[in-house]
Structure 1
């Protein structure tokens, strides 16, 4: 199935301002149904969850609907969906909770390809527990995260393997399932950072082998809210530090304070919007899979056009990406810092990111962080060939 990009773009009111948004990896623009759902939730009487009156029941229905929506998005179980303010906050929550069972001699394995939100929480949790941190390295020539090294890094004392489903720095999509299989064979859990990948391709947490999968709605047209998904059986034995009167059952016991009901209404609307990108029949899960497959095909072609254009520019140097990669491209322009390139593009209405984008370990390993990192053009399904050409012309 193909995308009607003109129709899709009409669902994003921010695009009417005329800016070219190549900063989707940092956050996408919200779709109209999301904006309307948030507003509707705030105009309607809701109160904290309960059963005594209608406003209390409404808030419970909003939460339940959002859990079901996120489960349909990634192929999880609604009873295993935990919400929080950000992927970083949720990863810290999971790390601190798991670390209560770690001790000296235990090992945690992280990757230098990952966003720091899937690195530092694990490093710090391991340090607090006296556990050892081991590192998987990136092949800086190819942009790949070689699977072979995991056979040497994973061992009988490995408790947790953290890996990204797609690099927010260069787009590389690692062989997560192969890594997960090695981890599970050793009895370790696998935490997958799906923040970047979820926006660009169909996701199935079971197929990935993820015990925990975290995603942020503002990376896929939704509000600034996040979720971490696990099988309810994985949550069941885990008990975070919490207030005495707060819920004792999962997933609620992992959610601190009162949830943002209006943002959760927006989360549900964002999933419904994604399911409508390429009209199809079937359940919402089936429609999500069809739409995201169509979006992936469209974005792949768009990224190929951008890559070909960048390679034709003498003074542009690309950061290598793996064979399988999302439509996220990092580069540098000879003779100027990434910040200068981003500013000059910004003056022409072209929005790109610059720096290390929190992919600290990658840019340190590449020797680029001290000189400003790189410029990132991250495409999304509302971008067009004309916008790609506009960026290439501006760079030229």
Structure 2
């Protein structure tokens, strides 16, 4: 019997017949021309940007948070005399010092007030504005980017299982893979699978390619615990990016911190840091051409709640790292935490649309014209001034 972590694929081309395929999907990949690489990580659950990048220089912070986000005197690492890096992200400090890491505080999508994880994530991945219902937007902004890229030549594309990341959904072919999908097929079952799809070139070739990749993966070692999923995602993404893939996206969960945030938040932040450092290590020289953006659906309340946590808010933070990044600095402005500065009297006020940073990154990396980004990739977006995100 074979037992492998499985490479899968996702595309709108697949149709209903893919639902019967014995595999699942959760991370997505797409091929694109050139040497530049883009990685988008969706942080599901609303990361508290005020805690991840602590504005300890703001005089109103301590009045809002008695146990959280208190700066270098409480374990954070100073970055610029105003912001401190949460201890969970401390392993990324060398990237900041090397000019390969930056972040944008006080950013958000156009989503406001309802503060639903599902709607917020849908709008983040759809890339729409307030004039479009994210439930009605069937494709995602990375797929719309691929549709505008001349010479885009993704490998064979198909959909397996029920879950696909909305951000890469659409007509442009893309692939997906899940570290939780385990294939147990005997040689007879492999033969049967090939015969089932023999008369369908799309599924025949795709199934053959999936089996080839499965065969190339290292089998689990008896008695050894499997590698944590976030590291498997990073290693597999790097392997694809070192070959034909140029755009990769996946999600990391665990960011909803309503209670006991001081203990809860450290773990997902550390996982994020490990994911990024694993990508850097595995990409080798290709790291120099890579831009990674970590984005979340919205931020959290500026004021700590009675359970030593924070609730769903508005303004959040975006982390950007990579060898192609112009880092070691903070992107954008800081709105302040006084009562008059807060959105709806409770949340960090957004100072810029998070889509603008993504759009400028795609403009710099892939040469997509500004007007196409503002109309086709991110409908209704005003990109505003160039933040000079890339080196």
Q: Which has the higher helix share?
A: 1
Q: State the TM-score, normalizing by the size of structure 2.
A: 0.23
- Indicate the structure whose relative CO is greater, using CA pairs within 8 Å and at least 6 residues apart: 2
Q: State the TM-score, normalizing by the size of structure 1.
A: 0.23
